[in-house]
Structure 1
Amino acid sequence: MKIGVLQMTGGIDPLVNAATLVEAIGTAAAAGAQILFTPEMSGLIDRDRSRGAASIVAEQDDPVLAAVCSAAADAKIWVHLGSLAVRRSDGKFANRGFVIDATGTVRTRYDKMHLFDVDLPTGESWRESAAYVAGDAAMVVDTPAGKVGTSICYDLRFAGLYRALSDAGATLLSVPAAFTRPTGAAHWHVLLRARAIESAAFVVAAAQTGVHADGRTTYGHSLVVDPWGDVVLDMGERAGLGYADLDLDRVEQVRTRIPVLAHRRPIPVATLAP
């Protein structure tokens, strides 16, 4: 089956980002894709939190989500909307991904579980937890591309999440992201290939790329990796649409060849006295 991957340079205006998403949905559907994957923070990417807060609204009021659901229904295509910044009922923010079916109905939601609180050697400092609340549950949903396990960006570094998703039946792991350039250059490809290999699952990682209106730069290189760890698609740094044809039987072939899921065992850890 054919999937679409949107690599974008998101900005600070949700309506502009929504227009980019709607155009991509129509184009991907016309090209024969059955599901489109989009990056983290597809609706708003703004490191100025005071300015950005004015555009963060409740899910039911979000114009980007409404536009994507409508476009998915019009084009009859599934969309994994990588994530949006949404305002929760308690007034706090969530970094929330959505899987939307070909009727425009939200099939599942996922709030990013691991928040990006780091200080990089380049001097960049990020405190996602200062504005966002972490989610508390992983999600797997049936789609035309198989059982999709959802995650977001920094989650990629936590192998236990992907073990839980593949144990729950996921055969495709989605990793929408807005990776920084230094961390992307160091770790992006190797981590995505590792997640595919250890889960014997497809990995689809739609990414933000380039220089954004808020001044940040992101790494790009949206990837599709097959269950053997081979890179099927690498979109480099240019914004746009990419496509990949997935042989969904490949998952069972690889899991039969090297049955890593069947061989998983609980691992007790003994602590020795000094």
Structure 2
Amino acid sequence: MSTFRAAAIQMRSGIDPQGNVATLDRLVGDAAAQGAHYVQTPEMTGAVQRSREGLAAVLRDEENDLVVKAASQLSARHGIYLHIGSTAIAADDGRIANRAFLFGPDGKKITSYDKIHMFDVDLDNGESWRESAVYAAGVDTVLADLPFGRMGLAICYDIRFPQLFRAQVEAGASILTAPAAFTRQTGEAHWHVLQRARAIENGAFVISAAQGGLHEDGRETYGHSLIVSPWGEILAEADHDEPAVIVADIDIAQSAAARRKVPNLKNARAFGLRIAEAQVEKKKESIAAS
């Protein structure tokens, strides 16, 4: 199976996981009705909640999480691969994981991935985020072998770290993912170029479902869920910030074709690094001495 139909679900998750699960149920059903074999949801599918106290009130471990339970049921009901972009999970050590899940058509979990790179930034207009104050960073990148190809898992801010995706591709990935909750400010500036760059430089498909719009907790996300080809072509986009489902038919052979046309992966070379000494001051000293 080298071809498949991929769907990315755009959401506007609120602070109530039960309400978000109801939306998840509806949108996954829409994607399955459109023939999707693989369906991806955004980062923080279960709850977009900036209040630590509010998040703690709805936090559950993996076994009892509402989104995890719903995803298992939905993947089996529709016979699809369901990728929960991420949801907050109570970790064993008492901390919180920003964790992605991938379920198979039998409803069983294939794998999970904890977000590695924490969004600790200070943006213009006073917007500031410190994910590391709330979440424990993951330590391993994760790949999954699906019938249609090897897939690399990542989450949101990971997209700004090309070395992560290059490691996945060097390990055989032809499909990359970066489900997100990009801020409106960073999304307007960088969302499209980052998604397309990761696709082009790796000769891989990139699928990124996104959160969009003004959320119940007051934050605003960019939307514009994307599916991008290995040549950098946008195959499908939700060109707004409203909840939506986008689909695209993917032929994995296009990844190999793109890598043949521009074989940068094969042409890559190891290299050293040296810093040339500045000669300006030495020259001035020589002139002064004469």
- TM-score, structure 2 as length reference: 0.92
Q: Distance in 2 between matches of 1:110 and 1:267?
A: 31
Choose the corresponding residue for 1:162, options 156, 162, 165. Answer: 165
Let me know the Cα RMSD of the aligned residues: 1.2
Other-structure match for 1:269: 273
Counterpart check, 1:189 vs 2:189: no
Contact 1:34 1:144 in 2 (8 A): no
Which residue is 1:258 aligned to? 262
* Residue in structure 1 matching 2:83, options 77, 80, 83: 80
- Give the C-alpha shift of residue 267 in structure 1: 2.9
SS in 2 for 1:16: helix
Between the aligned partners of 1:267 and 1:160, the Cα distance in structure 2 is 15
SS at match of 2:137: coil
- Give the secondary structure class of the aligned counterpart of 1:246: strand
Equivalent position amino acid for 1:241 in 2? V
Deviation for aligned residue 1:145: 3.9
Q: Residue 74 of structure 1: SS of its match in structure 2?
A: helix
Paired AA for residue 45 in structure 1: V
CA-to-partner distance for each residue in 1:50-91, whole Å, 9 max, x for gaps?
111111111111011101111110110111110010011011
Which structure 2 residues correspond to residues 185-264 of structure 1 after superposition, within 5 A?
A: 185-237=188-240, 238-264=242-268
8 Å contact 1:35–1:145 — kept in the other structure? Answer: no
Q: Distance in 2 between matches of 1:69 and 1:271?
A: 53
2: distance between equivalents of 1:144 and 1:81?
18
Unaligned ranges ≥5, structure 1: none
**2: CA distance, partners of 1:216 / 1:44:** 12
Mark the structure with the bigger radius of gyration: 2
| CA–CA distance in structure 2, aligned partners of residues 269 and 22 of structure 1 | 52
- Indicate if the aligned counterparts of 1:200 and 1:228 stay in contact, CA closer than 8 A: yes
Tell me the distance in 2 between the aligned counterparts of 1:234 and 1:101: 25
Structure 1 pair 144–240 and aligned structure 2 pair: CA distance change class (3 A): farther
**CA deviation after TM superposition for structure 1 residue 4, in Å:** 1.1
Residue identity in the other structure for 2:92: S
CA distance in 2 between counterparts of 1:266 and 1:94 reads 35
Pairs within 5 Å for 1:100-119: 100-119=103-122
User: What is the DSSP-based 3-state SS (H/G/I as helix, E as strand, rest coil) of the residue aligned with 1:44?
Assistant: coil
State the match for 2:32 in structure 1.
Answer: 29
Residues 25 and 77 of structure 1 are in contact (CA less than 8 Å); yes or no, is this contact kept in structure 2?
A: no
Instruction: Write out per-residue CA displacement over residues 134-169 of structure 1, whole angstroms, 9 at most, x where no aligned residue.
Output: 000101101244211010000011111011011111
In structure 1, give the amino acid aligned to 2:124: P
Is the deviation greater in 17-26 or in 178-187?
Answer: 17-26
**TM-score for both structures, normalised by structure 1:** 0.97
Q: Deviations over 1:179-207 (max 9, x none)?
A: 00110010101111100001000000100
**For the residues of structure 2 that align with 1:220 and 1:48, how far apart are their CA atoms?**
22
* Alpha-carbon distance, 1:273 to partner: 6.0
- Percent identity, please: 47
- Unaligned ranges ≥5, structure 2: 279-290
What's the counterpart of residue 53 of structure 1?
A: 56
User: How far did residue 105 of structure 1 move?
Assistant: 1.0
2:9 pairs, out of 6, 9, 25, with 6
Which secondary structure state, in structure 2, belongs to the residue aligned with residue 245 of structure 1?
Answer: strand
Deviation at 1:272, TM superposition (A): 5.0
Alpha-carbon offset, residue 233 of structure 1: 1.1
AA matched with 2:109: V
In the aligned structure 2, how far is the partner of 1:119 from the partner of 1:218?
A: 16
